[in-house]
Amino acid sequence: MILAATLLFAFQGAVLKSDDVKVGEGVAAKPFDIVEVQYIGTFTDGKEFDSSVKRNQPFRFQLGVGQVIKGWDQGVTGMKVGGERNLVVPPELGYGEKGAGELIPPKSTLKFNVKLVRIVPGAKVEVLKEGKGDGLAVGDMLDCKLSIKLTNGTEIADPSQVSKIQISGRIFPGLNQALNGIKEGEKRKVFIGYDIAFGEKGIPPADDEQRKAGSIIPPKADLNVEIEAVKITHPKS
């Protein structure tokens, strides 16, 4: 059954068109969720340029941290598991004036049929001490004391040092979730499952010395994290 739900998202004058074919069930996907989708991408003339369906491999990414084009960050947010959505992505929310190599020509409007397969269970956050002020958001810089331990107690991040960190697609997804919204002075205790940390393979040794000592991070390693937010620097407007 095709539903008549059509949503329009505007970004700096560009409009994303979103049509729900099927709504799905359960909670809606939100920023910082890790999602798995099946998709087919076509140009406006109907020519297909990419398909996870043909590869029989769902595509995983984290919403809202810049891992995918803006049209996907906007268009997949709000979907529910089992839902299906058609997106029409203008170039401003896609690959822009330059395109993407030989695959996507410059200034291309793209169409996607997206099915949400799974929302991966997220980090479990416990607030130990409340903070003050505005919470950490994308683009902010955080000075923090960060402890990351394997479940056997092995320390892989030194909590005595103040680290600078930003929410981004360059750090593992569970840490983005752990940092999201933290305020100055706040302390958090977070459990991050391996599925949203370093995955099934972990981080293997890079040389003989590390090989003798074993993997830097073992396969399927769950993490216990403690964060103390020392200072948040917001970008200048």
Annotated catalytic residues are 39, 49-50, 69, 95, 112
The first and second tokens of residue 29, run together, are: 């996907």
Tokens 């003989």 found at: 208
Q: Could you give the CA distance from residue 80 to residue 51 in angstroms, rounded to a whole number? A: 20
Sequence-separated (6 or more) residues with CB below 8 Å from residue 46: none
What are residue 147's phi and psi, to 5 degrees? -110, 125
Taking only Cα atoms into account, the Rg of the chain, rounded to an integer number of angstroms, comes to 20
SS3 89: strand
Q: Is the dihedral of CA 154, 157, 162, 165 positive or negative?
A: negative
* Distance separating alpha carbons of residues 90 and 171, to the nearest angstrom: 28
Helix (H, G, I), strand (E, B) or coil at 27: coil
Q: Which two tokens stand for residue 162?
A: 């103040």
Q: Which two tokens stand for residue 48?
A: 């297909």
CA distances from 118 to 18, 38, 178 (A): 19, 10, 20
The token duo for 150 is: 């394997």
